């Protein structure tokens, strides 16, 4: 009976999200429907007797209240702080300073496809500190794209490298990484250094090598010879001619990473440090730098509003999505869908490895369809801990490949904001960009899954 209810509800949720209905509302409403069905069928009460309101419809909203309170007080605050931090670093020009500093040495190389591969690896490192995929893509279009075009690379090759570094969503300030760590019961530094880093390095090297081979092959197939296009570039808009921030501003986005690394169990464990504290320290350091640089106290302090507004901007699309997904997942659990799925998998003899591959592929396809790594990952990640528990493996065993699958899927989506934005600036089709990113992403994903199964399953 539960399957007859769950299948149409899940199908409607997928349809609604693909058709650009509010993902948060779609998931929450679906969760309410499933919770109500479970209660009316006598499968499971919405709340334990001790917490029940005495009226079943009110129990649904009391459950939602509990989810809001729990998520807002912990993970929600962390994720909103990440959004505020990214907004402030962009506002004062620190993100651009970091990118400019990193790109400068690369511009001296003259072997175009080798530069392309090196730039990809450099960009993967940069996205640890510039956490917005679209934001990093636009920064690289301003700074790196002219360099790649000037050494003869085609627009499609250059954009493919610029639009895909966020496929490796690593680092302590990444939204999905923080959520995965939270669901796994790990500190973000432990998740990053103990799990992500071991998989990321080989995957990034494979992706860079495949970019080298695949972009050259595609260019040759299109009749494009890099040596005949040396010196070509793009015109710079007025917005791109603004006075850049000082070079030392490049250190500001790195402060949270190093604070968390230093004051962790691996180094100085006697002093406690968390991500929100680290980002606030960096923001106030940035405000001090702005006061000294501009000598305008009022304008410099108003920059803090950018941090707060950035926090608010993340609440709806990210924190709201997490809350909606958790309500939906709770509905699936209450009606027995998760137990049925796990029972069927175990009855077929499917092991933890096969289930992990299935979950990762499901999220990758969802990310391609939605154009969003966050929406795909956050919609399904709340189910991972219970699924992992039933197979007797840690939650991180399933969440780590799901984390990578979401960001890689986004890099292969023609409707992803970063792909559309970069393709638009270069005046090429998003579908051409996706054609160029798909082979490196698929190759890296296969290598990553194989390593994950060997090391952690």
Q: According to the model, what pLDDT value does residue 348 have? A: 67
Residues 173-223: pLDDT tens digits? 788 888 889 888 888 888 988 898 899 999 999 999 999 999 999 889 888
Copy the structure tokens of residue 442.
Answer: 């698929």
Q: According to the model, what pLDDT value does residue 240 have? A: 45
Q: What percent of the chain has pLDDT over 90?
A: 14
Instruction: Give 48: exposed, middle or buried? Use CB within 10 Å, 0-12, 13-18, 19+.
Output: exposed
Report d(CA 144, CA 119) in Å as an integer. Answer: 8
Distances (CA, A) of 19 to 115, 359, 371, 373, 405: 39, 22, 12, 16, 22
**Can you tell me the mean pLDDT for 144-169?**
84
- The angle that helices 23-40 and 320-335 make with each other, rounded to 10 degrees, is 20
DSSP single-letter state for residue 74: I
Residue 20 dihedral angles phi and psi, to the nearest 5°: 70, 25
Q: Which of 392, 394, 442 is nearest to 450 (CA)?
A: 442
DSSP single-letter state for residue 242: S
Report whether 375 contacts 407 (CB < 8 A). Answer: no
CA within 13 Å, CB half, 15 = 7
Containing structural domain, residue 153: 2-456
Reported as a pLDDT band with limits 50, 70 and 90, residue 103 is: low
Report d(CA 109, CA 245) in Å as an integer. Answer: 25
Residues 321-366: pLDDT tens digits? 778 877 887 787 777 766 666 566 666 667 788 888 888 888 888 7
Whole-model pTM: value is 0.67
- Structural domain tally of the chain? 1
Report d(CA 318, CA 331) in Å as an integer. Answer: 20
Q: According to the model, what pLDDT value does residue 451 have? A: 92
Those residues with Cβ within 8 angstroms of residue 337's Cβ, 6 or more apart along the chain or in another chain:
2, 3, 6, 34
- Average pLDDT value over all residues in the chain: 81
Copy the structure tokens of residue 148.
Answer: 């790649």
Report whether 26 contacts 379 (CB < 8 A). Answer: no
Report d(CA 236, CA 241) in Å as an integer. Answer: 7
**HEC string for 109-137:** CCCHHHHHHHHHHHHHHHCCCCCCHHHHH
């Amino acid at each position: 009976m539960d399957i007859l209810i769950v299948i149409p509800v899940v199908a409607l949720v997928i349809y609604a999200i693909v058709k650009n209905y509010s993902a948060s509302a779609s998931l929450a409403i679906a969760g309410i429907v499933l919770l109500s069905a479970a209660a009316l069928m006598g499968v499971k009460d919405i709340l334990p007797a001790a917490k029940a309101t005495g009226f079943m419809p009110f129990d649904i909203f009391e459950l939602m209240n509990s989810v809001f309170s729990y998520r807002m007080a912990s993970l929600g605050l962390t994720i909103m702080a990440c959004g505020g931090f990214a907004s402030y670093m962009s506002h004062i020009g620190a993100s651009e300073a970091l990118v400019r500093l990193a790109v400068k040495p690369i511009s001296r190389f003259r072997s175009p496809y080798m530069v392309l591969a090196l730039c990809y690896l450099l960009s993967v490192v940069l996205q640890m500190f510039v956490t917005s995929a679209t934001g990093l893509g636009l920064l690289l279009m301003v700074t790196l794209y002219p360099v790649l075009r000037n050494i003869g690379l085609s627009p499609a090759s250059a954009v493919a490298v610029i639009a895909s570094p966020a496929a490796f969503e690593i680092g302590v300030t990444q939204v999905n990484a923080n959520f995965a760590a939270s669901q796994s019961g790990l500190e973000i530094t432990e998740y990053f250094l103990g799990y992500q880093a071991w998989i990321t390095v080989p995957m990034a090297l494979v992706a860079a090598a495949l970019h080298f081979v695949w972009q050259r092959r595609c260019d040759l197939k299109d009749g494009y010879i890099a040596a005949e296009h040396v010196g070509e570039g793009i015109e710079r808009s007025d917005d791109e001619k603004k006075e850049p921030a000082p070079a030392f501003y490049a250190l500001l986005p790195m402060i949270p990473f190093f604070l968390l690394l230093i004051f962790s169990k691996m180094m100085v464990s006697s002093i406690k440090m968390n991500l929100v504290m680290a980002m606030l320290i960096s923001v106030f350091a940035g405000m001090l730098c702005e006061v000294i640089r501009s000598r305008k106290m009022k304008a410099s302090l108003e920059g803090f509003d950018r941090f707060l507004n950035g926090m608010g901007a993340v609440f709806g699309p990210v924190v709201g999505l997490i809350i909606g997904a958790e309500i939906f997942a709770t509905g699936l659990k209450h009606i027995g869908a998760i137990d049925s799925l796990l029972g069927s998998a175990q009855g077929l003899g499917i092991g933890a490895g096969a289930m992990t591959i299935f979950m990762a592929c499901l999220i990758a396809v969802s990310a391609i369809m939605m154009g969003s790594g966050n929406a795909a990952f956050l919609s399904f990640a709340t189910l991972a801990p219970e699924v992992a528990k039933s197979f007797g493996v840690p939650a991180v065993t399933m969440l780590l490949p799901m984390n990578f699958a979401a960001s890689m899927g986004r890099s292969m989506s023609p409707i992803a904001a970063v792909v559309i934005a970069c393709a638009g600036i270069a005046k090429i089709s998003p579908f051409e960009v996706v054609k160029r990113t798909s082979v490196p992403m698929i190759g890296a994903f296969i290598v990553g899954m194989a390593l994950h199964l060997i090391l952690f399953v």
